Amino acid sequence: MIKNLLGIKCSAIVGIVLLSGSHLSAQVLNEADLLLLPTELLNLSTTGAGSDAYIQQIGSNNDLQLFQQQAGLEGNLARVLQSGDWNVAIIQQTESGNKLALIQKGTKNYYELVGSGTGNELVNIQDGFDNRIIQQFINSNQISSELVQVGNSNEIIQILENVQGQNFTIRQTGDGMKVIIRQTGQ
């Protein structure tokens, strides 16, 4: 009975990210729903100059390096699901209007972002094991970021250099639970 309850808890923790207008939030779904609906990870329709990246990595030595630079009036969109094993995501998004949804479920969860610009929105969910998030924003305005870590060695390092108008939400549950925020400039 306890084993079944733990399985239900773990599957309920995995989230899917929705963007509607300028509001960013995490919604609870199970992993099977997420795997079946990767295009629904962000509820956003983009056309034009923005670059979209949809990446799903399941199991083994997951490793992702993604660079997105705004080429026109529209921002970039990145949706990433890494499930199981060594989960590493290194992302750089520059300019304005960028949106990122990243879910790392299980094993070595490591996520690093360098971002700049105005009006960027991010949701990052790490579920289980060696969770680590490092986000650095440089010369940025109106940043909205939600960071969720569930279980094990939770650590978040947030570096803000000349950033104004930020809205950060951090949720950590279980184990290490460490947050460092460094802010310089304005």
Whether 24 is covered by a domain: the verdict is no
Whether 68 is covered by a domain: the verdict is yes
- Mean pLDDT across the stretch 122-151? 93
Per the CB < 8 A criterion, the answer to whether 52 and 77 are in contact is yes
Number of domains in the chain: 1
pLDDT of residue 186: 65
Whether 85 is covered by a domain: the verdict is yes
Per the CB < 8 A criterion, the answer to whether 121 and 137 are in contact is no
- The CA-based diameter of the chain, rounded to the nearest angstrom, is 55
pLDDT of residue 71: 66
Whether 13 is covered by a domain: the verdict is no
pLDDT at residue 16 greater than cutoff 90:
no
Question: Could you tell me the residue range of the domain that residue 100 belongs to?
Answer: 51-184
Whether 170 is covered by a domain: the verdict is yes
State the residue for tokens 């960071």: 147
- Convert 128-149 to b/e letters by CB count within 10 Å (16 or more is b): bbbbbbbbbbeebbbbbbbbbb
Using DSSP bridges, classify how beta strands 88-94 and 132-141 pair: parallel, antiparallel or unpaired: unpaired
Whether 42 is covered by a domain: the verdict is no
Per DSSP, the residues of 147-184 read: EEEESSS-EEEEEEEEEES-EEEEEEESTT-EEEEEEE
State the residue for tokens 């802010």: 183
Give the separation between CA 18 and CA 12, rounded to whole angstroms.
16
Q: Between the CA of residue 42 and those of 21, 46, 71, 106, 173, what are the distances in Å? A: 11, 11, 21, 21, 24
Whether 117 is covered by a domain: the verdict is yes
- Supply the pTM of this predicted model: 0.74
3-state class of 143 per DSSP? Answer: coil
pLDDT tens per residue, range 37-92: 434 444 444 444 678 888 999 989 999 999 988 766 788 899 999 999 999 999 99
